[in-house]
Amino acid sequence: MTLPPLPDEVRQSVESYLELTDTAVPGLIEGLYLHGSLTYGDFRPGRSDIDFLAVLSERPSAMSVDALREVFRELSGRHPRPYFDGLHVTRADLADSPKGCPDVPCVQEWDFRPTGHFGRNLVTWHEIARQAVTVRGPRLTADDVWTDQTALRAYSHANLAEFWQPSLDTLRAGEGQEWVLDGPAERGEWVTEWFVLGVARLHHLLATDRLTSKTGAGRHALTAFDERWQPIVHEALRIREGSATSSYEGDPAARLRDTIAFAATAIEAGRQLAP
């Protein structure tokens, strides 16, 4: 099996996944495509997960689903990190809107679900159509995968109000802040990276009509927002890139305050843009 150039930890997980599935359910995996950070050149060892979409030759039987469960149990033992997150669909599923796709076998952080919807969204479909790393099967394009830029914008706009705003409200509440500040330092860093770069990604899509990586979103935020937000954006990028020097050293409360304030500003700015 000849794979495209991949980071070592990604290549090892991919090889093991295909070896295990080809043994357990021969002929089931027709195509394997990687998306997410890899496709933007933004895969960060020790921080990034592997995002995959597998195309099946047919809708799996109960026996095949049980075999896939065992595949991921074995895979998690061989390569516990990075997580190998994704879903298993048919070509017919990809040719239609994600809304038309039924619940399918999927896995997130080694939590395997026989029927679920993790990864079944417009961002996945658009990344697969536009820039997926093809590991097995033909290269997919917009002729094979349903895409709709207007729907992608509407989805991203709604996500600000329906997901990020409630998440921010929870963080802003006293218990949310205690969860961050009373935990290990890594938790505070994760919260800053997740909120600052996650919200900035949606703002980037709505402002430019293009998908981007977390790092790309941070670079966008440095120029798209007022200069006063640069310290917290630089901090999120520092965390993402694994740099050791922090301008918030010894003051996690200040970092959390700035994270909350920037996220609120970016959510509101994004909601002001046309869906």
pLDDT in tens, 237-254: 999 998 888 999 889 999
Q: What pLDDT score was predicted for residue 174? A: 83
**Mean of the per-residue pLDDT values for the chain?**
95
Beta pairing, strands 50-56 & 29-35: antiparallel
pLDDT in tens, 47-64: 899 999 999 999 999 999
Q: What pLDDT score was predicted for residue 3? A: 72
Classify residue 6 as left (phi > 0), alpha (psi -120 to 50) or beta: beta
Residue ranges of the chain whose pLDDT lies below 70: 1-2
What gap in Å lies between CA 214 and CA 42, rounded to an integer?
8
pLDDT > 90 fraction of the chain, expressed in percent and rounded:
92
Length of the chain: 275
Q: What are phi and psi of 249, to 5 degrees?
A: -55, 125
What gap in Å lies between CA 91 and CA 238, rounded to an integer?
39
Nearest to 240 by CA among 202, 196, 199, 205: 196
Q: What pLDDT score was predicted for residue 1? A: 61
Q: What pLDDT score was predicted for residue 168? A: 97
